[in-house]
Structure 1
């Protein structure tokens, strides 16, 4: 299938200097809300699942609002863990609003849930909360990380990292990248359950990082000692689901990042129908991180990186999948680096988080005026 190319005449930076921004959504007031995962802190620590050091706890997570061109933190003090340099952060990962305008915020965790309460004490990591922006307070709706601890739907290593959510009438649907599943819970916190497990995939003759590889994400990449000399002809890896959107057909569509060694061209988009049957909707991508449908039924998908992360090339891509299955690259590189989320605004423009995993350098950008150069 021919992959058409688009060139973007411009994009506008709406916010800069953010700390590990992960998710964004328009509120009922048509203003843009962004979650900052923060930079951890100087508190207690937990070991990273990658084996590359400890993640330190703090309350540097926040919610940012862009209103009339003004960028302001409107909720602060949210839980965050990160390496001492602020990388590898988990904290506020996503925000969505229900039909009444009530906000829901998803906090990540990226570690073994058994360590959360014992090592860090009371924390909202791995939970859904609903905030009150007027009082800088919040209440807990559901504990996604504890569900992984008590149920472990995929039967593999117990790790939870809730990454994205959507509101579907009176239900919240959550993607847990650590648990490799899709769970749902009522907006009142009831009926927390798994609705799909994203299966492992088997790589044939996988390519491993070489001696010149870049250690691009210590939070999720094992140390070189874990794969030095590895030459298996087949390797089972986790799919690592990253985001979910509801399609015009009523099904859920789920992007996957793929686990280490992050093979190029192996990331998939899964479709979960009303009977919870899982099928592959589209494949051939690399390190997918988010997706969104427009009003015409076109699907936009975001590649966090266009090549295996350990190659040290931060360029990402935004790709449009037409309702006829055609694929068009909207933007690739040209300033798009390590994007982490996208949404479509009330003005039908595309809004993206750029440099989403970089403390102090995260951006929100608006893509404008694409023109075709087939």
Structure 2
């Protein structure tokens, strides 16, 4: 779904503090911000939250993550930023970093739709509090209305599709149940969702019926970064979906451990389900977006996530040129994740693994 921001981007950028010659900050203090979208005169950002007091369990990378209801959706306009949906489930490290929770959001009129991650075998939900048991690993929807001071608040989210339950019952890639719903795109008859845990691209109808569009194959093997350095198969890890004018969908790929630089691809699925690779040589891609017929991609870590070690990864926004080559649009972005465009201006979420440190930055597309 696309919409125009009209004159709001200029108002946002003009009132923001510049941190770089290339971009301006338009929102701060976000908790692990991921994908974002434009609707009407506003931006909407999915915040994965900061976890909570528990219960705790092993996360996707083996570290402990604890449950809480700190996930949120933030609305950004020229008047400021406001969390319009609160209380969504979140799993994060004890310090609130690297959270799993709300991952993507779209708004249209009074309605909103979001995906909420899980990053585990769906069976772990049985041991979660009610909110986690019902909402982790799902696509949810809700409505908002105006409250005091013209601020928006939301109804309780309703599950549109239980993607984790579908993974538990079907396991399309055949390597064991694991679900982590991520970016999605709206289509004529519903939505297409990237499930990063399942390595699958799923179609969700307007009534919540789920079917598999495709399963991403491994991009290859890579020596493990520890003795005796055995060859390991990298997981594909789809992260986002965008729709193309011809009815096809494009899917970005992060690539799993050891997160090799240059191993990420962009996939295309036609309306009939035919799969092809449209770009290679990218690194740890988290989001895609179209602008005036050109394809843009966010790389969360230009040198690969493993190369960052304990430091915050530095990434970029690139323009995918004909033939699959990439042209850098913005670089030296701290852990960027989502991207959206409107009328000559782009927006990127940064510090996507940071509690209370995430931002949305805006930049002009002139010459880029």
Q: TM-score range by the shorter chain?
A: 0.7 to 0.9
Q: CA deviation at 1:169?
A: 1.8
Q: CA deviation at 1:358?
A: 1.0
Q: CA deviation at 1:311?
A: 1.8
Q: CA deviation at 1:247?
A: 1.9
8 Å CA contact 2:59, 2:120 repeated in 1 = yes
8 Å CA contact 2:279, 2:320 repeated in 1 = no
The alignment status of 1:289 with 2:298, answered yes or no, reads no
The alignment status of 1:185 with 2:201, answered yes or no, reads no
Counterpart of 1:194 (choices 209, 212, 228) is: 212
Q: Show the counterpart of 1:25.
A: 37
Q: CA deviation at 1:184?
A: 0.9
Q: Show the counterpart of 1:329.
A: 328
Equivalences for residues 315-354 of structure 1 within 5 A:
315-323=314-322, 327-333=326-332, 336-345=333-342, 347-354=343-350
Counterpart of 1:68 (choices 75, 78, 83) is: 78
Q: Show the counterpart of 2:23.
A: 11
RMSD across aligned C-alpha pairs, in angstroms? 1.9
The alignment status of 1:365 with 2:364, answered yes or no, reads no
Change in CA separation of 1:35 and 1:149 when aligned onto 2, cut-off 3 Å: same
The alignment status of 1:148 with 2:174, answered yes or no, reads no
Q: Show the counterpart of 1:90.
A: 100
What SS does the aligned partner of 2:127 have? helix
Q: CA deviation at 1:67?
A: 1.6
More RCO (CA 8 Å, sep 6+): 1
4+ residue segments displaced more than 6 Å: none
8 Å CA contact 1:9, 1:371 repeated in 2 = no
The alignment status of 1:116 with 2:125, answered yes or no, reads yes
Counterpart of 1:45 (choices 48, 56, 59) is: 56
Change in CA separation of 1:330 and 1:15 when aligned onto 2, cut-off 3 Å: same
TM-score in terms of structure 2 length: 0.86
8 Å CA contact 1:13, 1:364 repeated in 2 = yes
Q: CA deviation at 1:325?
A: 5.1
What SS does the aligned partner of 2:126 have? helix
1: distance between equivalents of 2:58 and 2:325? 43
Q: CA deviation at 1:322?
A: 3.5
8 Å CA contact 2:344, 2:366 repeated in 1 = no
CA deviations on 1:20-54 (whole Å, 9 max, x unpaired) are: 01111112x2211111110011132232232222x
Q: CA deviation at 1:64?
A: 0.6
Change in CA separation of 1:325 and 1:256 when aligned onto 2, cut-off 3 Å: closer
Q: Which consecutive residues of structure 2, in runs of 5 or more, have no partner in the other structure?
A: 1-19, 146-152
TM-score in terms of structure 1 length: 0.85
Q: Which consecutive residues of structure 1, in runs of 5 or more, have no partner in the other structure?
A: 1-7, 210-227
What SS does the aligned partner of 2:134 have? coil
Q: Show the counterpart of 1:170.
A: 189
The alignment status of 1:261 with 2:258, answered yes or no, reads yes
Q: Number of paired residues?
A: 336
What SS does the aligned partner of 1:114 have? helix
CA deviations on 1:321-368 (whole Å, 9 max, x unpaired) are: 2457553211111xx1110100112x2311110111111110001112
1: distance between equivalents of 2:323 and 2:54? 51
2: distance between equivalents of 1:230 and 1:316? 30
